[in-house]
Structure 1
Amino acid sequence: MRTIEREVEDLRQKEAELAAARTRVEEIERMLPEVERELAEVEAEIGRLRGRIEEARGREREIARVIEDVRRLREIEAEVRMKEAQVGALGRRLAELEASFDGERLKEAERRQDELQARLRRLEAEVSSGRERVRQLRRKVEEAEERKRQIERWEREVGLRREVAAALRALQQVLMRVQVDLRQEFLHEVNEIMNNLWADLYPYGDYTGVRLNATEDDYVLQLRERGGNWINVEGFASGGERTVACLALRVALAILLAPKLRWIVFDEPTHNLDERSVQELARVMRERLPAIVRQVLLITHDPNLEAAVSGSLYRFTRDKGTDGPTVCEQVSVEPYAA
């Protein structure tokens, strides 16, 4: 029971406190417009104070600039006073110089200055010439170096060419030896063929053989005498003997140089031959040459060589008095009787 009474008492107290609080709230609510008005005034005042503060700060910065200008102005004034002192000293020095001025010394100084300027110009010209000389020397050095490199290239090329020349000399020696061997073999075969033909081409016994002999710078056609001595055809043999020897040489060369020789052409082969030699030549052409070649073509004005024909014979005639045409006729020939 007492507990309830206490709780009721507590409730009454709380109600009294609540009523007092409501009264206080009502008073505050009544006071709130006034407080808000005062607050607005305070904020306005704060704004004005802030403006004044900014203005004061601006003035402070302006005052700082003025103070800095004053400081600089004082430094300039001090510098001006120092310069004025220097000017005064220079004025006094100038007065002393004017008092001690010597015209002759000035002229001497000007002359000396002119000499120095002239010398300076000469030195500048010499320097310019020296620089040009240096450039020329550099170009010459570069040219010399290029020349040196060119000489080195030439030396290498000369070395290579010397090696090639040595190889070529060795090859030349080999070729010369081969040439000598081939020439000897060639002459041996030519002479063998000529001597096989000689007995048939030459009907006399004055010369028993023929050969082509090689000298240092030429070839010589020679005949062998009965005693075995060899004489040169040129200058010793008769015209007919030279003709027979040359014919034997031509036939031998043709046979040797053309192993598959099929025909030979003779154009007036009886020059400087006597009648007997012509008959022997006709016999050889008729009896021996067909065994060597398939066809022999003979062109001649000598009717004695008709006996050399073993096949067809054609005779060409022309009446030169009437300037007539050339007439060709085929002639039948009886077999030659030895």
Structure 2
Amino acid sequence: MTPDIRLVDAFAADLDEHHELHLAVSRADYPNVAPPTRETVLARLRDPDVDLGERLFWTARVDGRLAGAFAAQLPVDGNEHLSMIRLVVHPELRRRGIGTQLLRTAASVLRQRGRLIAEVSRVESNSPGARFAAALGFRTVNTSVFQLLEFAEVDPAVWDVSPPAGYRLVRWIGRAPDHLVESYARARRAIGDAPPGESAFRTPDWTVARVRRLEAAYLEHGIERRVVAAVADDQVVGLTELDLQPLRPDLAAQRDTAVLAAHRGHGLGQAMKASMLRWITADKPDVQRVWTSTAVANQYMADVNHRLGFATVRRYSVVNRELAGL
């Protein structure tokens, strides 16, 4: 069986057949997890992770039927060696070499683009995907937990957390204020202190130019990026970020939280996240839940999330390998 593999425009993809593919994968691999809705699949097709740069998208067809899909994103600003990938193959068509051919076809293009490593950020332990990756030489380089907060199940009183003396919280949607953007970019680099394991992803070179470029990209994709920042002496010393996507009005994504080393130990992370949750519930009543992920090694932040009402729902691995040899 030789699949027809093509590089395509994900924005023009047929939603019905991609939804059927992801439903089949979900039912076979994750029977205890709610299957993806059409809106979830549409968001995967139309809303790539802006922070991870350009996206390339391949499909594999067998006798005209969608058999699999492969996405790769090409981060920049210090990560030009890396490609972040995602691969799915229909359960009925597995063990026929389709996934391997998709990976090898994409790897050839990625190498031509100067990428050296392929990394998958979410692989469920003991899943078919984990076994497939291991068979192809991918190794586990980090482990994270997926955490979920259901607003209906949490007492809002746990978010009554004030910033410590000497700090104030500033918030914005979209564009960082001009007088704070430089210190915001500096504070953004503090995420690099979180334990990365052996992931090939490096903390980006956060500059004002990168901040402004990503802000424009969020706007272009209709993503509402909210920021709560901790400020001392008119300088941003900590931040937490949350995304709202138009295709998933019920779900918010809690993104990075970072505090400069000199300002840690005062509870700023919890105060900023609590402020964000109060803000969202006050003016976004359609949002029902918030998800986030945290490295297992970052137990401090996982505990902060638990105190705010997040529950850990599953663990997953980050795996990677060199593109050479694929």
* Pair in the same fold by TM > 0.5: no
TM-score range, shorter chain: under 0.3
Structure 1-normalised TM-score? 0.22
Q: Select the structure of larger CA radius of gyration.
A: 1
Bigger relative contact order (CA 8 A; separation at least 6):
2
* Greater strand content: 2
